[in-house]
Amino acid sequence: MSLEHLPRLPQRLVEMLLQNFGAPEWLVLIAGFLVAASTVVGVFAGGFALLSLVERKTLARAQNRIGPNRAGWFGILQPVADGIKMLTKEDIVPAKAEKILHLLAPIMIVVPAILALGVIPYGREWIPVPLELGLLFFFAVGAMTEVSIFMAGWASGSKFPMLGAMRAISQMVSYELPLMICALGVVMVSGTLSLPDIVDRQGGFHLGFIPAWNLFTPWGLVAGLLFYVCSIAEANRCPFDLPEGESEIVAGHMTEYSGFKYALFFMGEYLGLFAISGLGITLFLGGWQAPLPGLDFVPTWIWFFAKLCTVIFSFLWIRATFPRVRIDQLMRFAWLCMIPMALLTLPAAAIWHFAGRGLLSWVVTVPLLLIPWVIITVIYNKRLAPTLRTYRFAE
């Protein structure tokens, strides 16, 4: 058993143990599934704890501060301290809240994120649930998030959560469209909805050293960039973190939550971030494929997590650098820039697929994407981009 199979080790051990004790077939199967699922949940729950620290440290570094450094060596125990704080806090439910929905909302935020994490192929041998319709499943469970955000906002029975939820839903619905359309291009070229198969189609190298990832094609580059922006918006992160913009609407749909429920919201958000980045990596960055030839001795799941860390770090960097946009700018950007460009990647992907992926398709698809891109950028910058703000009551 090599390092490649390491993540499946717990599952194999439990299965072997149960078989030794003469357990029936179905019990072995169910136990194996449960252990495989807990491996994924465990890895990403640990990742969530680590990320909450890394994020604060990175932001502190970007703002010329030190960041958390009291708990443990370099603040390494800070997530534990945060966890204990959250668990021991009083759980406040507002008097005007709908008790049942108020309780259900944080749970229903975490569940779809975990379900979505289950279908992503993390390595050649580490695919928790190899579904034939994996991509569709991912988007289908992602649809649940909007309903649960609405439940959180409405059940709190107060104004800020309601406003935050309306913002969050309209933002997520608008950005889900280009997200799905970008993924469709990959489906068209790969000819499958199964995520492991999509990764397999991206194996190999052009000219001996350029990896055959979808990102390194004209349509894939555009779709990948759009997907990246959309995934920031889907994960409600800065510069698109309007639903919980502290300076505007307190904490959006999470305003009336405290203690462990509040922590669950954060967990759902970070797990969703992992899931959507994982999907982006699977679709455009070649999943677990190595970036250069001759690196096959490294276990494939290490490549996946290296890419995941890079993508997540770029999210942190963007959060530390960009100012927040306004809600009307956000919606206009989605409908006037993202969706037209996303729609254009579809014919480009079709041409790429049928014109043989050679020089001819480069010649056709690059202008097809570049010219509208330039036109949209020019129009947007001239007519629609945010101008210098004038203050009526200040100055």
Partner 1 sequence: MIPLLILTPLILLAALGAVWKARPVHAALLLALTLALNAILYLVLGADFIGLIQFMVYVGAVAVLIVFSLLITRPGDEAEEIARRPRSLVTGLACSLPVLAVLLFMVSRFETAGSAATDARSVSIEQLGTTLFTTHAPAVMAVGVLLTAVMIGAALFAREPGKKTPTPSDS
What residue ranges bind partner 1 (CB under 8 A)?
101, 132-133, 136-137, 139-144, 146-147, 150-151, 154, 162, 166, 169-170, 173, 176, 193, 326, 328-329, 384-387, 389-390
Nearest-approach distance from CB 333 to partner 1, in angstroms: 11
Smallest distance from the beta carbon of 322 to partner 1, in angstroms? 17
How far apart CA 213 and CA 284 sit, in angstroms, is 6
Strand (E) or helix (H) holding 357: none
Distance, CA of 180 to CA of 283 (rounded, Å)? 11
Instruction: Output the smallest distance, CB 85 to partner 1, in A.
Output: 32
**DSSP assignment, residue 102?**
H
Pick between residue 290 and residue 325 the one whose CB is nearest to partner 1.
325
Q: Which is nearer to partner 1, 193 or 290 (CB)?
A: 193
**Helix (H), strand (E) at residue 96:** none
Closer to partner 1 at the Cβ: 51 or 279?
279
DSSP H helices, 191-258, are 195-201, 218-234, 246-249
Residue closer to partner 1, measured from CB, 193 or 263: 193
Q: Which is nearer to partner 1, 88 or 390 (CB)?
A: 390
Q: Which of 228, 190, 233 is nearest to 212 (CA)?
A: 190
The residue (of 92 and 140) whose beta carbon lies closer to partner 1 is 140
Preceding amide of 121 cis, omega within 30 = no
Residue 184's Cα: distance from chain center in Å? 17
Nearer to partner 1, 55 or 176 (CB): 176
Name residue 220's amino acid.
G
C-beta separation of 162 from 153 below 8 A: yes
| Helix boundaries (H) for the chain | 9-20, 25-62, 78-88, 99-117, 134-155, 159-190, 195-201, 218-234, 246-249, 259-284, 300-321, 327-332, 339-354, 359-379
One-letter amino acid of 84: I
CB of 131 to partner 1, least distance (A): 9
Distance of closest approach, residue 241 Cβ to partner 1, in angstroms: 20
Residue type for 168, please?
A
Residue 351 · residue 361 · CB < 8 Å: yes
Q: Are 258 and 92 spatial neighbours (Cβ–Cβ below 8 Å)? A: yes
* Nearer to partner 1 (CB atom), residue 86 or residue 136: 136
Residue in the structure block whose two tokens are 């409405």: 154
- In the bound complex, what is the minimum distance in angstroms from residue 180's beta carbon to partner 1? 9
